[in-house]
Amino acid sequence: MRKGRLRYLGLLGFLGLLGVFMGEPGLYGFFGFFGFFAVTFQQQDELLEQNLNKAGMNGFVVSMLGLALTIVVVTVTRSFQWLALMVGIVFALQILTFTISLVLYEKEGGVVDDD
């Protein structure tokens, strides 16, 4: 069985430990990345790669739209506090979009019945 590279996203979960040691609750969200280690036990096939591509595209579109909106808001308000907040929100939204899209595509399956 071939091992996929998606499982390496689970390593980002260790950034959540920084939040524990530094007392910064904003980093606790990185613990959610540990869920990507579960992909290690999943069979890697062409359908999974296709679903990863589709989910990645969804995350990319959310990222581009969100960052364009961020640039507009920061330009209008001239406040870098908004920049930090909105970049964090866009990051969370793109990861959520990717993850939810991948789960839905995997649940949907790829078997087409010709009948």
**Can you tell me the distance from the alpha carbon of 104 to that of 12, in angstroms, rounded to the nearest whole number?**
23
Domain limits, the chain: 1-44, 45-108
pTM of the model: 0.77
Q: What is the pLDDT of residues 11-36, one digit of tens each?
A: 989 999 998 999 888 888 889 889 88
Q: What is the pLDDT of residues 24-79, one digit of tens each?
A: 888 888 898 898 888 777 777 888 889 889 999 999 999 999 999 999 989 999 88
- What are the DSSP calls for 84-111, one per residue? HHHHHHHHHHHHHHHHHHHHHHHHH---
